[in-house]
Structure 1
Amino acid sequence: MEIGIAFIVLAGFVLINIIYHFFLARVGFYKTTQQVKSQDAVSIIVCSKNEQENLKTLVPLLLQQNHPNFEIILINDASIDNTLEVIEEFQAIDDRVKKVDVVNNESFWGNKKYALTLGIKKAINDKLIFIDADCKPASNSWLQIMADGFAENKSIILGYGAYEKKKYSILNALIRYETGITAIQYMSYALHGNPYMGVGRNLAYTSKQFYDVSGFIDHMKVLGGDDDLFVNQAATKDNTTVIIEPDAFTISKPKNTWSNWWTQKRRHINTASHYKAKHKFLLSLYFISQIGFLTAAILGFIIGMNWMFILGLVLLRYLIVWLVIGKGLSRFRESDIIPFIPLLEIILIFTQLGLFLANAGKQPKRWK
Structure 2
Amino acid sequence: MAIGLFYVILLGCVLLNVCFYFYFSKVCFSNPTTYTKNVTPVSVIVCAKNEEENLKRLVPQLLSQDHPNFEIILINDASTDDTRFVIEEYMAQHPQIKMVDVVNNETFWGNKKYALTLGIKKAVNDHLVFIDADCEPASNQWLSLLSSPLKNDTTIVLGYSGYHKAKNSLLNALIRFETVLAAVQYLGYAMRGNPYMGVGRNLAYTSKQFYDVSGFMSHMKVMGGDDDLFVNEAATGNNTAVVIDPEAFTMSKPKQEWNKWWIQKKRHVQTSKLYKTKHKLSLGLFFTSQIFFFIATILGFLFGLQWEAILSLVLIRYVIVWIVMGKGLSRFRESELIPFFPLLELLLVFLQAGLFISNITHKPSRWK
Counterpart-to-counterpart distance in 1, 2:238 and 2:76: 34
User: Displaced runs of 4+ in structure 1, greater than 6 A?
Assistant: none
What residue identity is the alignment partner of 1:7? Y
1:74 match: 74
SS of structure 2 residue aligned to 1:45: strand
Counterpart-to-counterpart distance in 1, 2:280 and 2:361: 20
SS of structure 1 residue aligned to 2:107: coil
Q: Structure 2: any 5+ residue segments left out of the alignment?
A: none
1:258 match: 258
* Greater displacement, 341-350 / 42-51: 341-350
1:152 positional shift: 4.2
SS of structure 2 residue aligned to 1:162: strand
1:293 match: 293
Q: Is the 2:44–2:130 contact (alpha carbons within 8 Å) kept by the matching residues of 1?
A: yes
SS of structure 1 residue aligned to 2:108: coil
Residue 12 of structure 1 pairs with residue 9 of structure 2:
no
State the TM-score, normalizing by the size of structure 2: 0.99
> Pairwise mapping of residues 173-192 of structure 1 onto structure 2 (< 5 A)?
173-192=173-192
* Greater displacement, 228-237 / 319-328: 319-328
1:107 match: 107
1:36 positional shift: 1.1
Counterpart-to-counterpart distance in 2, 1:329 and 1:127: 30
> Pairwise mapping of residues 12-31 of structure 1 onto structure 2 (< 5 A)?
12-31=12-31
SS of structure 2 residue aligned to 1:360: helix
State the TM-score, normalizing by the size of structure 1: 0.99
* Cα RMSD, aligned residues only: 0.8
SS of structure 2 residue aligned to 1:274: coil
Counterpart-to-counterpart distance in 2, 1:125 and 1:152: 16
- Residue by residue over 1:191-219, the C-alpha shift from the partner in whole angstroms, topping out at 9 and shown as x without a partner, is 11110000000000000000000000000
1:239 positional shift: 0.2
What residue identity is the alignment partner of 1:34? T
1:89 match: 89
Q: Is the 1:3–1:303 contact (alpha carbons within 8 Å) kept by the matching residues of 2?
A: no
- Identical aligned residues as a percent: 62
1:304 positional shift: 2.9
Counterpart-to-counterpart distance in 2, 1:124 and 1:30: 35
1:328 positional shift: 1.0
Residue 351 of structure 1 pairs with residue 351 of structure 2:
yes
1:61 match: 61
Counterpart-to-counterpart distance in 1, 2:299 and 2:52: 53
- Residue by residue over 1:104-141, the C-alpha shift from the partner in whole angstroms, topping out at 9 and shown as x without a partner, is 01100000000000000000000000000000100011
Size of the alignment, in residue pairs? 368
Counterpart-to-counterpart distance in 1, 2:354 and 2:295: 16
1:361 match: 361
1:324 match: 324
1:151 positional shift: 3.5
Counterpart-to-counterpart distance in 1, 2:29 and 2:158: 17
Q: Is the 2:33–2:243 contact (alpha carbons within 8 Å) kept by the matching residues of 1?
A: no
Q: Is the 1:7–1:305 contact (alpha carbons within 8 Å) kept by the matching residues of 2?
A: no
> Pairwise mapping of residues 124-203 of structure 1 onto structure 2 (< 5 A)?
124-203=124-203
SS of structure 2 residue aligned to 1:107: coil
* Greater displacement, 36-45 / 352-361: 352-361
Q: Is the 1:196–1:228 contact (alpha carbons within 8 Å) kept by the matching residues of 2?
A: yes
1:66 positional shift: 0.3
1:77 positional shift: 0.3
1:338 match: 338
1:33 positional shift: 2.8
1:262 positional shift: 0.9
1:345 positional shift: 0.6
Counterpart-to-counterpart distance in 1, 2:234 and 2:326: 30
What residue identity is the alignment partner of 2:265? K
Counterpart-to-counterpart distance in 1, 2:286 and 2:113: 30
1:4 positional shift: 1.8
What residue identity is the alignment partner of 1:357? I
Counterpart-to-counterpart distance in 2, 1:92 and 1:256: 35
- Residue by residue over 1:42-89, the C-alpha shift from the partner in whole angstroms, topping out at 9 and shown as x without a partner, is 000000000000000000000000000000000000000000000000
1:355 positional shift: 1.1
Counterpart-to-counterpart distance in 2, 1:319 and 1:33: 28
What residue identity is the alignment partner of 1:87? I
1:302 positional shift: 3.1
What residue identity is the alignment partner of 1:227? D
SS of structure 1 residue aligned to 2:33: coil
Counterpart-to-counterpart distance in 1, 2:247 and 2:152: 21
1:217 match: 217
1:116 match: 116
1:2 match: 2
SS of structure 2 residue aligned to 1:98: strand
Q: Is the 1:3–1:300 contact (alpha carbons within 8 Å) kept by the matching residues of 2?
A: no
Q: Structure 1: any 5+ residue segments left out of the alignment?
A: none
Residue 246 of structure 1 pairs with residue 246 of structure 2:
yes
